[in-house]
Amino acid sequence: MTRITTKKLAIGMFQNGRARQTWAMSGREDESNYTDLEYWTELARKCEAAGADFLFLADSYGYPTLNDTVIPTAIERNVQFSTVDSQMLMSALAAATKTLGLVTTVSTMVEKPPMVARQYRSLDHFSKGRIGWNIVTGSAQAGSALLFGEPLMPHDDRYALADDHVQLSLKLWEGCWDDDALIRDSATGIWADPAKVHEIIHDGPFFSSKGVLVTPPSPQVTPTLFQAGASSAGRELAATYAEAVFLAAESKALAEQIADIRGRAEAKGRGRDAIKCLIAGTFRIAESEEEARAAHEAQIAGISLEYAAATYAYFTGVDLLSFDLDRPMPASTAKTDNGRTNVERFLGPDAPTVREILEEFRANGVMGKPFLGTVEQAVDQALALIEETDADGFLVQPDPDGSHDMFFEKVMPELRRRGVIKDELPGATLREHLFGEGCVRLPDSHPGAAFRRTGVLV
């Protein structure tokens, strides 16, 4: 058996506001019940009962496009296509749960900082401090830009914009209200102390602002900050601001990515352990290894190359089917202005052929290789990857039927038996779940802390 990690792993549960990709494989018509609020509240309750740290709902306005138009296979097969608005679900999930962390994505390309600041602060109040923001520059940017009637912004400029966005959001969260600014004294009629509520001033390369976030401080003040997108620019953004990052398990370079993020965070004075690195973990378990492998292969057999190509186009904007399948992708794809994580990982000296990339996407999608076998084997593999990569936990992908039931029934108890997950979630807030009791606010080493109580900021 693998050497058992001494860490207490963070366990986040992944779902997608999109209709589940497995809908046709489950053989159940009711698999598309993702438009029912009840589906989501029940999912959140199950995550809470199982003791997960948080539920994460991924989101994007983008969908697969090529040559400025939606890919028909994406519509026909529902490849990264139909969705509901994840953020809209959050207050319902806050009402349905008491301890579970709740994380969702808003792309910095879509909503402006005062909107993001107000929404997440409101949600942090409603959930009593259990909210996290997954900061992305957005998957499928080509589709999203077309939808919003905007030109596609170059990749690294989007990350420069994200940096400016987060700076302003942090100023609004951390810089507007002193801790004792809110008075609410009905005898004197004083709501708040004007000397302790500050206007922030921001004059950045992409956003300008002079004003106040009028929603008073919530338990975490700043929501717990997550980040996804492992291109070089993405890792820099993570190292600067993120408290947790989502990384695909597929990448041969996972250990390097994690070491790079930790190194960059350390260079910024945040410390190597300032960021929880969470691996997108897929568990495919059965009574025997053969059975698990056969079920996984049956699932792969239901996925066409066109489906895999549409998925790839969603994440990269690259049309794999336009290339020679028996050669590597042209190096020019590195300049794609869509997401780069899934281009960068298939270029370089050991570059696979296009056919191999398509096969990888058929078999493992974007999240990477599953942990496969009996529950003991799968957990051994998962813990070995934690050891190899120095990661801090998992963002668990759904079971083949779209639920997390198998994970909760089999894998969670095994993780618990091995003593690698928390018996009880520390603290009441999401940040405490991840960093320990008392860690409610951003640590002093985070750049957001510099915006506290300093009056007018420039």
**All residues at 6 or more sequence positions from 324 whose CB lies less than 8 Å from its CB, including other chains:** 354
Q: Does 139 bind ligand FMN (CB under 6 A)?
A: yes
Which residue in the set 71, 90, 213, 228 belongs to the binding site for ligand FMN (CB under 6 A)?
A: 228
Burial of 92 (0-12, 13-18, 19+ CB in 10 A): middle
138 — phi, psi (to 5°)? 100, 130
Q: Are strands 276-281 and 244-248 parallel, antiparallel or unpaired?
A: parallel
CB of 129 to ligand FMN, least distance (A): 22
Q: To which H or E segment does residue 240 belong?
A: helix 232-241
Separation of alpha carbons 20 and 416, rounded Å:
28
Separation of alpha carbons 64 and 171, rounded Å:
35
**53 and 12 Cβ atoms separated by less than 8 Å:** yes
Query: In this complex, which beta carbon is closest to ligand FMN, that of residue 139 or of residue 215?
Result: 139
Q: Does 234 bind ligand FMN (CB under 6 A)?
A: yes
Q: Are strands 69-70 and 65-66 parallel, antiparallel or unpaired?
A: antiparallel
Separation of alpha carbons 6 and 429, rounded Å:
23
**All residues at 6 or more sequence positions from 289 whose CB lies less than 8 Å from its CB, including other chains:** 372, 373, 374, 377
Query: In this complex, which beta carbon is closest to ligand FMN, that of residue 12 or of residue 427?
Result: 12
CB of 230 to ligand FMN, least distance (A): 6
Query: In this complex, which beta carbon is closest to ligand FMN, that of residue 237 or of residue 415?
Result: 237
Q: To which H or E segment does residue 191 belong?
A: strand 190-192
Separation of alpha carbons 239 and 241, rounded Å:
6
Which residues in 374-413 contact ligand FMN (CB under 6 A)?
395
Q: Does 229 bind ligand FMN (CB under 6 A)?
A: yes
CB of 189 to ligand FMN, least distance (A): 45
Which residues in 100-129 contact ligand FMN (CB under 6 A)?
105, 107
Q: Does 134 bind ligand FMN (CB under 6 A)?
A: yes
Which segment (27-35, 204-212, 229-237, 377-385) binds ligand FMN by CB under 6 A? 229-237
Which segment (69-77, 172-180, 244-252, 378-386) binds ligand FMN by CB under 6 A? 244-252
Q: To which H or E segment does residue 48 belong?
A: helix 37-50
Q: Does 345 bind ligand FMN (CB under 6 A)?
A: no
Which residue in the set 119, 231, 251, 403 belongs to the binding site for ligand FMN (CB under 6 A)?
A: 231
Q: Does 135 bind ligand FMN (CB under 6 A)?
A: no
Which residues in 284-313 contact ligand FMN (CB under 6 A)?
none
Q: How many positions of this chain bind ligand FMN (CB under 6 A)?
A: 25
Q: Helix, strand or coil for residue 56? A: strand
Q: Does 340 bind ligand FMN (CB under 6 A)?
A: yes
Query: In this complex, which beta carbon is closest to ligand FMN, that of residue 177 or of residue 312?
Result: 312
CB of 236 to ligand FMN, least distance (A): 10
Which residues in 152-171 contact ligand FMN (CB under 6 A)?
155
Q: Does 251 bind ligand FMN (CB under 6 A)?
A: no
CB of 271 to ligand FMN, least distance (A): 23
Query: In this complex, which beta carbon is closest to ligand FMN, that of residue 311 or of residue 381?
Result: 311
Which segment (52-60, 65-73, 323-331, 385-393) binds ligand FMN by CB under 6 A? 52-60
Cα–Cα separations (whole angstroms), residue 206 to 88, 96, 112, 141, 237: 27, 38, 10, 18, 16
CB burial readout 240-262, b (16+ within 10 A) else e: bbbbbbbbbbbbebbeebbebbb
Q: Are strands 224-228 and 131-136 parallel, antiparallel or unpaired?
A: parallel
Q: Helix, strand or coil for residue 21? A: coil
CB of 400 to ligand FMN, least distance (A): 18
* Interaction mask 56-85, ligand FMN, x per CB under 6 A: --xxx-------------------------
**48 and 100 Cβ atoms separated by less than 8 Å:** yes
**Which residues sit at the interface with ligand FMN, rule CB under 6 A?**
58-60, 105, 107, 134, 136-139, 155, 228-231, 234, 246-248, 280, 315, 339-341, 395
